[in-house]
Amino acid sequence: MARDTLDDTPIEGRDALVAHIAGGEKPPAEFRIGTEHEKFAFDLADLSPVPYGGERGIAAILEALRQSSGWDAITDEGRLIGLAAPSGGGAISIEPGGQFELSGAPLETLHETCVEANGHLREVRAIAERLGLGFLGLGFAPTWTLEEAARMPKQRYDIMRRHMTKVGTRGLDMMHRTTTIQVNLDYASEADMVAKMRVGLALQPVATALFANSPFLEGAPNGLRSNRAKVWHDVDPARCGPLPFAFDEGFSYEGYVDWALGVPMYFVKRGDTYIEATEATFADFMAGRFAKLPGERPTMGDWINHLSTLFPEVRLKRFLEMRGADGGPWARICALPAFWVGLLYDGGVLDQATALVAELSADDRRAMLERVPHDGLGTRVGRRTVADLARDALALASEGLRRRGKASGEAPDERAFLTVLEDAAHSGRSPADELLDAYRGPWKGDVRKVFETNAF
């Protein structure tokens, strides 16, 4: 989750909301890569989730990291809930179930991304081992029930928990039992944003299939490749999903803003207090119709916070956020940004990717989104499979990374980070398939073995 802001700049109408998003435009030479990855903390002794408090809790890990890193504390009602790099180059936060997240700094190359991820994992692993804890890279908690999952004490999460049960059946699962890898990418113009948004939305199920890594639920196979992706189908239809209007002629910043204006808010933050606001849309607030702050109009901080509570497959802020992948091991932390940077950061390759997704109808896109959690790379798209589509997309991504030519040491470019995905696409097997084989074979039906194989 993003760090909430208190920017009190008045909003002078809808155009200011559009201008805020347009303000994210950058020349291609300044494009950066911001990678986010989450992981489950667990007790090495009994594989149970780690609570917030106590000598071996989430807060203790954060405090140890604060002392070792010198990063600034982020607090909520006096409780340590995250850390921020003093330079603004990244942050550590905790998700509702105690999932530990690194929101990486905006970096120029994938090589730097991998150095960052490796350094973070090395640091948190050293602290966790001293406390008798471990971290697990998987898209969905494999053995814990929802009741067993930890609960982090953040005001915004308390509001979300109350709201989730009113708008869907899987929102609490999403909050407490899922993890993801995401990447934030830049755009140069409105037209560039639209092209990247459409490619990102159309191919998000391909990323889901390549990264599918959550085939277990409460100690047994769940019949899915990605339970995390399936959960998102029933969280909150008002703020989630594939944004079909993004493929309409004339889609623009304004189109996204108008959609966001119509989504109910979660909260309004005033000082250190979160005011529950789920009964009002942002448009209501703009019109002075938020009853808990009668006559008051929102600030830019309110808009920024609201954008962070929208959960479509691709999220637009002052950058684009690719949201379709399960959490996973180290190699996939680097592979996710490699896939999207390769597809989206070279203009010629982006044009080819646009042509590739133009072959997919709205029905194709909808069917992929629905079936990929079940069938993974074997999902049928007309006469082809998602694995076929993944091979085409990966060929384009590889060419995009070759053209970038970002070298490091003996590596002439960043293409090596795609290898783990190319292997999956050519075999038609996702990480979930490998886990299920292990469950049926050497694990002898013991899902707890995944805490060894997928631990960082």
pLDDT digits (tens, 9 = 90+) for 237-261: 999 999 999 999 999 999 999 999 9
Average pLDDT over residues 340-357: 98
When pLDDT is averaged across residues 155-165 and rounded to a whole number, the result is: 97
pLDDT tens-digit readout, 393-425: 999 999 999 999 999 999 999 999 999 999 999
- If we measure between CA atoms, which residue out of 322, 351, 362 comes closest to residue 197? 322
Rg (CA), the chain: 21
Cα 223–chain centre separation: 23
pLDDT at residue 422, as a whole number: 98
pLDDT at 322 over 80: yes
Q: Looking at the structure, give the CATH architecture of the domain made up of residues 14-449.
A: 2-Layer Sandwich (3.30)
pLDDT over 90 at 6, yes or no: no
- CA–CA distance, 20 with 303 (Å, rounded to integer): 9
CA neighbours closer than 13 Å in the CB half-sphere of residue 43: 16
Q: Region 349-358: what's the mean pLDDT? A: 98
Q: Which pLDDT score, from 0 to 100, does residue 1 have?
A: 46
How far apart, in whole angstroms, are the C-alpha atoms of residue 50 and residue 98?
A: 7
Question: In 3D, which of 52, 286, 38, 60 has the Cα closest to residue 151?
Answer: 52
Distance (Å, whole) CA 206 – CA 212: 10
How does pLDDT run across 80-113, given as a tens digit for each residue? Answer: 999 999 877 899 999 999 999 999 999 999 999 9
Q: What is the mean pLDDT of residues 225-247?
A: 98
**pLDDT of amino acid 147:** 98
Confidence band (pLDDT; 50, 70, 90) for 3? low
From the list 402, 440, 432, 441, the residue with the least C-alpha distance to 216 is: 432
H/E element holding 235?
A: none
Specify whether the CB–CB gap between 411 and 111 falls below 8 A.
yes
Residue ranges in 139-290 assigned as alpha helix (H): 155-167, 171-177, 190-211, 227-231, 253-261, 282-286
pLDDT on residue 89? 83
